[in-house]
Amino acid sequence: MVESHESLEAVRLRIAVSMPEKGGRPTIVGCEVRAAPNAPDSRRRWHFVVGYVERVRKQTIQGARDRVMSLMASAEDERPCVFVDVGTPQGFALRRSLRDAWPKTDEIHRPHAYERTRFDSTMFATFLEAYADGRITFLDDLDFRTEIDRALVLYRSGGVKEAGDELSSEDEGLVHALSLAMMFPTHGTEADQLIPAES
C-alpha cells in the first residue's frame, strides 16, 4: 500500500472507502498520517502521504467489502484504521457488511463510520486546507492520479455532463474517499515525526 520507509518507527495508516451513490466503482484510498511541523500559532499539524488508490472493479457492496478485507489482511501488522463514508445507503450497508466480516480481535479497530450529509463540507474542507498548505504528498506511481485531479476540479460542479451520472458519481466517491482518509488525524497508532523527503 503506502511504500515503507526504513527510518519510520511507527506508522499511522488509514484505509478509507466510499460507495458512489448513483452507481459505478467504489473507491478505496490508503493514506499514511505523519506529524508535520506545528503551525506558527503552535497548533498541531499533520502531513498525509497518499500511497494507494483503487477503483474496485466489482461494483457491489460485497466487492468493496472483499477488497477492504484483503487490504486489511495485507497491512495487518501496521494496524490500519478503516473509515467508511456512510453518507449514502450503499455506504451504510457496506459498513454493516464489514462489521459482520471483521476479525474477532481487539488488536484492530472495527470499521469507523463518517456520517457525511449532502450539505457537510467538513471532509472536503479538511482536505483542501492540507492541500493548500502543501501537507499532502501523492506517491509518484499512484494509480488514478489524473482522475484524482479531474475529480477535485469538478467536485460538486455537476461533473462532466456528456460522461453521464455514473462517472460523476464515481468521481464524487473518489473525492469522498480521499478526503475521508485525512479526517481524524490524531486517531490510531503513534504517527512518525518525519516529513517525507519529497515534500
CB 22 within 8 A of CB 168: yes
Q: Is the pLDDT confidence value at 185 over 90?
A: no
Residue ranges per structural domain of the chain: 12-180
For the stretch 131-156, pLDDT in tens is 999 999 999 999 999 999 999 988 87
Q: Which three cell numbers stand for residue 144?
A: 488514478
| CA 158 to each of CA 147, 162, 165, 173: distance values in angstroms, whole numbers, following the listed order | 16, 11, 9, 13
The reported pLDDT for the residue numbered 110 is: 85
What is the pTM assigned to this prediction? Answer: 0.83
For the stretch 60-103, pLDDT in tens is 999 999 999 999 888 877 888 899 999 889 999 999 999 998 88
Residue range 12-180 forms a domain whose CATH class is alpha beta
